[in-house]
Amino acid sequence: MTITEPLLAVAGLTVRFRLPDAEVHAVTDLHLAIRPGELLAVVGESGCGKSVLAHALLGLLPGNATVTGSALLRSGAAPAIDLLTCPPRQLARQVRGRVVGLVPQSPATSLTPVRTGRRLLVETLRAHGHTRAQAPAAADRLAAEVGLDPADLDRYPHELSGGMAQRLATALALAPDPPLLLADEPTTGLDRPLVDHTLDLLRRRCDAGAAVLLITHDLTAAQRVADTVAVMYASRIVEHAPTEALFDTPGHPYSAALLDALPQRAFRPVPGHPPMLTDLPVGCAFAARCDRATPACRVQPAFTGTGVGRVACHHPLEHAELRAEVPA
């Protein structure tokens, strides 16, 4: 694999959940690519479909889910694998943990309750090449790397705080040294110094050649470590751009509204509420909250280039407008 080829290339990913009286449009026609050494952050309000993206890539969705599209994973000289059509047995034995690691959003529900953190970590390390003699010391080093006191590894999951469980889950995901890491809200329950510590740890993994897909609602976190940012709204990616460009000159009105909600900016909440994923409007889902909406927004906008990124909007923000809005 050359450096120009994506490690993961997702095209047209669509996820629907069948309910007795409705259908949840969780992810719609999602396209993204991530390369070795890249940290891509997917941001957006809660409930927009970010976590479903991660679970779809690893085959962890419930039985009422329908998934279409493709997600080609390339690792080494082996043929590419489509994660969306890969047999469950192959996903479990060859992909999860080995090639793609997952830091789950709710670590307390993913940790085996009858094993201590140390046993979980040592077993994971031994399953991925460490000897019986090497694994305990490696577990201590990895715990310290994620900001967890190695002594706390001797506790059971129910004895750990939420933040400690989050750090243990991160250590378990990092233990096999996977080429691709899916980090789903990896800073949940952490105080600011540990948030920064975890983000910097993910950044170092990328700088060493791995790829990280960071799913977060924390825009400050994305700005700190991401190379590129994809903004998700009501099941769709609405903007995808290099981090600096998106924070300086967002093209989509929703991206600009998210940034304006930050305390260090206008501290102005996004007006209105996102639509229900069971009842999405025709056309642009953000139109009801957007002061730039026109009748043209009744048609779903296609992605267009903005010079440095891509935006799906009939009336994208112009850089001149943004400069006029930024205080001197």
Tens-level pLDDT at each residue, the chain (328 residues): 445 689 999 999 999 999 999 999 999 999 999 999 999 999 999 999 999 999 999 999 999 999 999 999 998 777 899 999 999 999 999 999 999 999 998 887 889 999 999 999 999 999 999 999 999 999 999 999 999 999 999 999 999 999 999 999 999 999 999 999 999 999 988 999 999 999 999 999 999 999 999 999 999 999 999 999 999 999 999 999 999 999 999 999 999 999 999 999 999 999 999 999 999 999 999 999 999 999 999 999 999 986 679 999 999 998 645 443 443 3
The fold for domain 1-99+178-328 equals Rossmann fold (3.40.50)
Cβ–Cβ < 8 Å for 32, 220: no
Query: In the chain, where are the structural domains located?
Result: 1-99+178-328
In sequence order, the β-bridge partners of residue 16 are 25, 66
Strand order in the sheet with 228-233: 100-103, 180-184, 211-216, 39-43, 228-233, 236-242, 310-312, 303-305
In sequence order, the β-bridge partners of residue 303 are 312
Going from the C-alpha of 254 to that of each of 161, 176, 260, 312, the distances in angstroms are 35, 38, 10, 11
Taking each helix axis from N to C end, the angle separating 192-207 and 162-174, rounded to the nearest 10 degrees, works out to 10
Strand, helix or coil at 209? coil
- Residues 15 and 37: their CA atoms lie apart, in Å, by 28
Q: Are strands 228-233 and 303-305 parallel, antiparallel or unpaired?
A: unpaired
Strand order in the sheet with 65-73: 23-34, 8-18, 65-73, 81-82
- Residues 252 and 181: their CA atoms lie apart, in Å, by 28
Going from the C-alpha of 232 to that of each of 22, 44, 134, 195, the distances in angstroms are 22, 5, 42, 22
